Amino acid sequence: MARDSHSHRVIQAVAQICRPTRSKNLDRSRQQRGEELLDDYFVHNSAFLDTYFKRRFRMERHLFNKIMIAVCNHDSYFVQKKDACGVMGLFPKQKITVALRMLGYGASADQVDEIAMMGKSTILESLMRFCGVIESIYTA
């Protein structure tokens, strides 16, 4: 019996050593970048005029807002909510912006990360969910 517990401990120790370590979370200042995105494009008297919005998003602002409302009503993933620590999550406009930038410009997740300050996994999940929601809303 002592032999079994020793081998069990050895296996656990080896598994602990071989387990890939998770990289440290980066402080992306996501809330600040989300507010900057809103100030740049979405608030009244924004930093960029409608012509810039149309050029960068490849659509009119009212169309973006219509799509955003439809997407948020269809999938609660895009609605801003608090996480387990009580910290506010990403704005819906951040998640939709990264999906549109990837689709519109063929940008990679790393390129979009520099714009939106979101993690790669969040960017990819936003893209996949956005495509699924758009398909289910507009193919009916």
Q: Does residue 117 belong to any structural domain of this protein?
A: yes
Domain around 128: 24-138
pLDDT tens digit sequence for 98-140? 999 899 888 888 888 877 778 888 999 999 999 999 999 988 7
Q: Does residue 18 belong to any structural domain of this protein?
A: no
DSSP bridge pairs for 82: 88
Per-residue pLDDT at 132: 94
Q: Does residue 4 belong to any structural domain of this protein?
A: no
Q: What CA–CA distances, in Å, run from 131 to 17, 50, 71, 75?
A: 39, 25, 10, 11
Q: Does residue 122 belong to any structural domain of this protein?
A: yes
Query: pLDDT at residue 3 above 70?
Result: no
